[in-house]
Structure 1
Amino acid sequence: MWVSNDVTGHATNNFWRSLEGVTITAPRTMWAVSQASPLRRSVIGGELWLSHDVGYSSGGFISDVKIGKSLVMGTQQQWFARQMTMPPGGLECWQGWNYIFMGVEGIDVEMGYKCNKGTLNKVSIMDRTARSAEKPYIVWEGSEWMIHVPKVVHQPEPGYIQDREGQIGWKLSFREVFVADPQMSTDTILQGMRYKAALLLTPGESPPAEIYALTRSLEVTKDRFVVLGIGFPTLVSPVGQSCLKVRSGLTDVRIASIIFDANTPVSHGYAEPLLQWGDATNLFVRRQLEVSGVASDIVARIGAFAYLNCELKRADHMLEFNDDSLIIDNVWVWHADHDDCSNFVMAKGADMMDHHFKSDQCQSQHGIVVNGNNIVAYGVAVEHIDGGHMLLWNGEAGQLYFFQAELPYHSDLTLQRRYAAYAVDRNIYSHFALGLGVYIIGGKPAYAAYLLSEYCDLRNVVTVAIDASDDSFHHQVCQESMEGEQTCYKPQNCSWSRCWRPWVPYVDAHALKLRGATWPLIPPTEKLPEPKILKRLRPEDRYQVSSWQYADYQLGRGKKGVTRSWIGQLPWLALVALIASFFGYFLCTGRTRQPSEADRILRGYGDALEGTEAMDDSRDFERLQMVT
């Protein structure tokens, strides 16, 4: 396997390819790639080079891989590696800005220190993974094709998966799989999904035949349904609609290896998310260890492309995750900074910086929006979104490991308007993130790279100014309290256009017993920089920090910022009292009944917090009002 630099002499345009399920015995494997090029479930017998010795590269993602000799990071600016096995001392680093090794067998702190090579806090090492599930894959078993669906594992053992059979959650015979091709109509595919347990999106016979021009949104409506692409098939959205929707409340759905392209004209009033997982207005109570699904190797794009007649497109939320307990595993959201509609010729020395592309006139608001609670993400990249926050996280108990963002360098809609590359809503009490890099190209200044609540625990935070001064970011990190007050931080150190902080000071709220959240199960962090905790809240502090505002947001999903008074609640209190007295007989006669959704909310987030102390009845009563 040999992937080389492209015609520009770099690997920064080597996108949309994957390598998985192979054993390579060659002395050297060259995998010079950038975003959307995952390497999974493979054995590399010799050396694995992630770049040539010349040219830039901007990857990447590895999971469940065994390397026989050495891993050469080369010119890679950033990289995320999970569940990998390599020989001790087999890591070679030349440069780079941000590397994460999670659950990697054969790497230790000393090797990470050598890899830093004076670039402090470049390498982040964690012995364990929070929870993960590898991508589904196709095998020939016995006398038929099967889809194997790996199970979700909480804090798995480090290293390449050796017990392959033991990691399988369930298997699907192709008799249970609807196999689609781009010549089929959308209605035919939807009909096939209705009666099967999986959808396999195959490529066509020749490019660009892998394009699925949808007339309606595809929708997943069943538990444990699998949507798997091979050859990176592209779903093109119907005008104003999503490419793919997942119904709220489902369990263990898998979506993998698909490109979503925006096809809504800029003149259209609204565009649904290209991928919408769950309904943002629906409240669903889920047990803590129950996973609603996994999104693996997902790409979302917007641009003016020749196969879409070079028309200008719009996208509001490119990817939207609303269900709780999701796993986001390698996604890239791209507002195109070059295209095939603007008389630009890719060649050695060709410079995109000063060229005007039609894609620059496309409209994008948010790249990724996370509204669900207890979501964990690995390998998230967002680039050139110009109309809002690039990543907006509104859910409690979130975790993110590895983030890469490149700000728009052709558009004037930059972070000067106080949009951030990485934004966490100011009402969030729990958020952990590791290995974050935000890059700016050219001289356009930005307000802040990161905009956070004051309860966010972030480690190894990086900003890079390419062909620009370090102060192109007015602030590296800004925190916003629930009252709207901001505290902003400059980098702790800068060197060669790279600025970093080992941690962001934060308030620890994990002692509180708050409704609507289960605190995340974060793996041990002793190999990471020690955090700076401004204050540790105590259980008795909950009345000071828990507000109507918080209750509105957690129970109403999207009503944040609304403050209610007791006077305004008096009619509701009278109604609740009347209903309670009317049904008092049924409540006191000892009859059993199934708990309602409101009951489950009052008992805690999905009945998962067994053994935790209950909040006092007055607070439960207030929340019951909100539900009713």
Structure 2
Amino acid sequence: MKKGQLVKTAVAMGIAFTLGTGAKSVQANDTVSKVQNPSVQAVRLEQRGSSVILTWKTSLRLGQYFQIYRANGAYSTDKKLIGTTTHGVFIDRSPGKNVYGNSYTVKAVNKRTGQTSEVKTSLNQQIFGKNMVIFNPQDDPQQINSTIKGTFEKQKSPETSQFNNSRYSFYFMPGKYDQADPNHAYEMGYYTTINGLGKVPSDTALPNILVENYLKDENNNATQNFWTGVENVHLTNLKPQAGVNGQFNYATSQATPLRRMEVDRATQLDWKSGWASGGYIADSNFKQKIGSMSQQQYYVRNTNLNNKWYNGDGSYNFMMQGNLNGPATNWSQTGSVTNVAQTPVSKEKPFLYMGSNNRYQVFVPAQRKNSQGTSWSKDSMGPGYSQDLLSRFYIARADRDSAASLNAAIRRGKNIFFTPGVYHLNQPLRVDRSNTILLGTGMATLQNDNHQGAIKVGNVAGVTLAGLIVDQGSQSETLIQIGHRYGRHFSSPANQTLLSDVFVRVGGPNTAQVPKVNKAVEINNDNVIGDDMWIWRGDHGSHIGWTQNEMKNGLVVNGNNVTMYGLFSEHGQKEQVLWNGENGRTYFYQSETPYDVQKQSDWMSHGGKVNGYASYKVADHVKRHEFTGSGVYGVFTQTNGAKIQTANSIEVPNTPGVIVTHAATKTFAGDGSIDNVINDHGGSTTDGQKHFITSYQNGHVE
């Protein structure tokens, strides 16, 4: 805005303002209020070129003026007076190189009484809202600590926080946050993520992070530690401590990804060897020992483990893929580790960072083939491209956006960056443009309140859905649909669609309607990658019951050449996964039976001839499929006394091109059983033991 234009605007508004420190004040005609209490409201900031314009609402009051302060950080104690004015406009012409690192305070002062009132804000808060907090290295460490601690106290309770509507993300601008207290641990609760804004993890040095068990019982139980995550940070170890206080303790289960991490500390993936049902790690570097003696299972991809991995003998399914210096496969020795040397085709999750031009950018990593190790190095982000956040993305906020506004932005060619919150969708989000990105932070949640579904992707290439919880709040055929159901499959092998950290829920949250869905996720296009997906028919929370939160299938794959990494699908009322496409691949699978089958006649497949449904079913017509590293577990705890049987955890056609490697099953609880691992082979779980096969192909089992 030119100076003359600003003057005209101010005169038209009937206000006076100062053009920065030392500039002239331009007074327009106004009516002066005789009310003496100072007032400032609704401060707005706008970046124009190298300046920041502040405007605010005020009643023009006798003896009132305004002081404008700037600090290098929203939580910085170094606040400096940069100017005064008598009315509601101020221009900061020297905000520094990183305008997003600043915060401003506008203080109204009554010269006669000394009374004051003030409003504090920043460009970050106005762009991203109050639940996406961005820290600066100049911020007071104690205020950073207390801010994160305050959120943790709100979000730590399984009873009151697990299904609430609060969502938070904490971003750290590049710099060192580990100097004041090198062993301080930021505690995390439900629906909270911590992210670095550097180009590579080492740009953002944090002291430590802590996730204990949320369920406070004698088992140190972390099996309800869900929906949190950490990305793109370096956890340092400047003053090593022995024992649990010196470790990175990350006791979590499903939907808790660690991505793009550099960790100098020992890492324990449980709390004091308590129960846990994780988990997912990718694209990271762990320099000290990492593992768990009590986790059920874990998936680790494209990570440098530096020969430091460990796990307990009682675990069931640890999948290592594309890693450097990881543990060897040991299933043939009744172990639980599968090591696959390469990741055949992958795309890492896009992420927000601060570019060299001090503007927010989203980096989109390139598709890789037959990869090992991380996509980044100490000095390089790795192959990929960047997009300017403010020009290429629509910044969504749950307090103002609807499905209509989001779809309008998508039609204008925008990507969507979902800030933390719960977004109610009275119509599906429709993506019909290749390379569109829907990227969430802080476990941003899309609640489907219509009968068509939450997201529908057309026959287009290279779409990314990432960092999103999708809740069913209504009844629909699908929640997420990739590609049109009928007609020829759309195929794009060189630019595959990606679903990364996508977590689907049917039941749990207290939605207005009873949630029901037939196929939670349906993939009709060819060449789609799933990377860390949890599809969950709720077993606790609201709307829980066999005839309430109904979900027939978790994932239905009709497309060809679809690849899944780190797939979790639980409690569906028919097949948890039904795979109809050719050349499918799944690396790591975790599943539990539905807890709440009320009678055996409700749990019969093959036209009522076979007990139960296989958790993972490859259709009879399929000729080629690879399924590696699975654990399917029987839990029959809410059957109202009925003894429930399931014939097989896995069903596949007997043909040479369908290969199953390393599959386990076990009954954890309840009066029921799984009779076989795969196709009537493997033995019954009635003995309470883990049953497994090392390979199955064309009817031959080992």
**TM-score between the two structures when normalised by the length of structure 1:** 0.70
Task: Please give the per-residue CA displacement for 1:417-437, whole angstroms capped at 9, x wherever unaligned.
Answer: 542100010000000010011
1:163-174 matched pairs, under 5 angstroms:
164-174=380-390
Query: CA–CA distance in 2 between the matches of 1:405 and 1:493?
Result: 15
Unaligned runs of 5+ in 1: 204-209, 266-270, 342-356, 479-487, 508-530, 534-628
Pick aligned residue for 1:371 from 535, 558, 571: 558
1:188 aligned counterpart, secondary structure: helix
Equivalent position of 1:272 in the other structure: 477
> Residue 211 of structure 1: CA displacement?
1.1
> Residue 8 of structure 1: CA displacement?
3.8
Judge which range, 494-503 or 311-320, deviates more.
Answer: 494-503
More strand by share: 2
1:121-520 matched pairs, under 5 angstroms:
121-141=335-355, 142-159=357-374, 161-162=376-377, 164-182=380-398, 183-203=400-420, 210-248=421-459, 250-265=460-475, 271-284=476-489, 286=491, 289-303=493-507, 305-306=509-510, 308-309=511-512, 311-340=513-542, 357-358=544-545, 361-386=548-573, 388-412=574-598, 413-414=602-603, 417-442=611-636, 444-455=644-655, 456-467=658-669, 472-478=673-679, 488-491=680-683, 497-506=689-698
Tell me if structure 2 keeps the 8 A contact 1:395–1:428. yes
Equivalent position of 2:212 in the other structure: 4
> Residue 94 of structure 1: CA displacement?
5.2
Tell me if structure 1 keeps the 8 A contact 2:502–2:534. yes
Distance 1:220 1:129, change over 3 A: same
Query: CA–CA distance in 2 between the matches of 1:329 and 1:89?
Result: 24
Task: Please give the per-residue CA displacement for 1:303-347, whole angstroms capped at 9, x wherever unaligned.
Answer: 1532x14x4221111011110001010100111110057xxxxxx
Tell me if structure 1 keeps the 8 A contact 2:292–2:312. yes
Query: CA–CA distance in 1 between the matches of 2:384 and 2:366?
Result: 5
Tell me if structure 2 keeps the 8 A contact 1:337–1:360. no
> Residue 476 of structure 1: CA displacement?
2.2
1:258 aligned counterpart, secondary structure: strand
2:551 aligned counterpart, secondary structure: strand
Query: CA–CA distance in 1 between the matches of 2:313 and 2:213?
Result: 17
The one-letter code matched in structure 1 to 2:496 is: S
Are residues 1:53 and 2:306 paired? no
1:84 aligned counterpart, secondary structure: coil
Pick aligned residue for 1:40 from 259, 268, 287: 259
Are residues 1:98 and 2:317 paired? yes
1:475 aligned counterpart, secondary structure: coil
The one-letter code matched in structure 2 to 1:185 is: S
Tell me if structure 2 keeps the 8 A contact 1:220–1:247. yes
Query: CA–CA distance in 1 between the matches of 2:381 and 2:687?
Result: 47
Judge which range, 193-202 or 218-227, deviates more.
Answer: 193-202
Judge which range, 49-58 or 12-21, deviates more.
Answer: 49-58
2:391 aligned counterpart, secondary structure: helix
Distance 1:405 1:148, change over 3 A: same
Query: CA–CA distance in 2 between the matches of 1:6 and 1:234?
Result: 21
Task: Please give the per-residue CA displacement for 1:350-403, whole angstroms capped at 9, x wherever unaligned.
Answer: xxxxxxx457622111110011000110011111112x2110000000000000
Distance 1:436 1:494, change over 3 A: farther
Tell me if structure 1 keeps the 8 A contact 2:483–2:489. no
The one-letter code matched in structure 1 to 2:647 is: Y
2:676 aligned counterpart, secondary structure: strand
Query: CA–CA distance in 2 between the matches of 1:129 and 1:278?
Result: 25
Tell me if structure 1 keeps the 8 A contact 2:425–2:450. no
> Residue 274 of structure 1: CA displacement?
0.6
Query: CA–CA distance in 2 between the matches of 1:212 and 1:427?
Result: 40
> Residue 477 of structure 1: CA displacement?
1.3
Query: CA–CA distance in 1 between the matches of 2:354 and 2:385?
Result: 17
> Superposition RMSD on alpha carbons, in Å?
2.4
Judge which range, 162-171 or 489-498, deviates more.
Answer: 489-498
Tell me if structure 2 keeps the 8 A contact 1:491–1:501. no
Tell me if structure 2 keeps the 8 A contact 1:492–1:500. no
Tell me if structure 1 keeps the 8 A contact 2:299–2:318. yes
More helix by share: 1
Task: Please give the per-residue CA displacement for 1:134-174, whole angstroms capped at 9, x wherever unaligned.
Answer: 10000010221011011110011335631643322443442
The one-letter code matched in structure 2 to 1:428 is: V
Are residues 1:14 and 2:225 paired? yes
> Residue 532 of structure 1: CA displacement?
6.1
> Residue 280 of structure 1: CA displacement?
1.6
Unaligned runs of 5+ in 2: 1-208, 238-245, 605-609, 637-642
1:187 aligned counterpart, secondary structure: helix
Task: Please give the per-residue CA displacement for 1:410-465, whole angstroms capped at 9, x wherever unaligned.
Answer: 22344665421000100000000100111002452212111111132000011111
Query: CA–CA distance in 2 between the matches of 1:339 and 1:463?
Result: 26
Tell me if structure 1 keeps the 8 A contact 2:365–2:385. yes
Pick aligned residue for 2:292 from 69, 73, 76: 73
Judge which range, 176-185 or 398-407, deviates more.
Answer: 176-185
Distance 1:495 1:47, change over 3 A: farther
Equivalent position of 2:142 in the other structure: none
Distance 1:492 1:417, change over 3 A: closer
Tell me if structure 2 keeps the 8 A contact 1:63–1:83. yes
Tell me if structure 2 keeps the 8 A contact 1:201–1:228. yes
Tell me if structure 2 keeps the 8 A contact 1:466–1:497. no
Distance 1:145 1:170, change over 3 A: closer
Query: CA–CA distance in 2 between the matches of 1:325 and 1:384?
Result: 27
The one-letter code matched in structure 2 to 1:200 is: F
Query: CA–CA distance in 1 between the matches of 2:489 and 2:283?
Result: 32
Query: CA–CA distance in 1 between the matches of 2:348 and 2:462?
Result: 12
> Residue 409 of structure 1: CA displacement?
1.5
The one-letter code matched in structure 2 to 1:313 is: P
Q: Report the identity percentage.
A: 25
Task: Please give the per-residue CA displacement for 1:216-245, whole angstroms capped at 9, x wherever unaligned.
Answer: 110111111110000111111132111011
Query: CA–CA distance in 2 between the matches of 1:74 and 1:285?
Result: 44
Tell me if structure 2 keeps the 8 A contact 1:62–1:80. yes
Query: CA–CA distance in 1 between the matches of 2:463 and 2:293?
Result: 36
The one-letter code matched in structure 2 to 1:126 is: V
Judge which range, 35-44 or 84-93, deviates more.
Answer: 84-93
Q: Which has the larger radius of gyration?
A: 2
Distance 1:492 1:88, change over 3 A: farther
**TM-score between the two structures when normalised by the length of structure 2:** 0.63
Number of residue pairs matched?
Answer: 464
> Residue 108 of structure 1: CA displacement?
4.3
> Residue 90 of structure 1: CA displacement?
4.4
Query: CA–CA distance in 1 between the matches of 2:480 and 2:435?
Result: 17
Query: CA–CA distance in 2 between the matches of 1:94 and 1:463?
Result: 15
Tell me if structure 1 keeps the 8 A contact 2:483–2:490. no
Tell me if structure 2 keeps the 8 A contact 1:218–1:244. yes
Relative contact order: is structure 1 or structure 2 higher (C-alpha 8 Å, sep ≥ 6)? 1
Tell me if structure 1 keeps the 8 A contact 2:430–2:456. yes
> Residue 490 of structure 1: CA displacement?
3.0
> Residue 215 of structure 1: CA displacement?
1.3
Tell me if structure 2 keeps the 8 A contact 1:298–1:330. yes
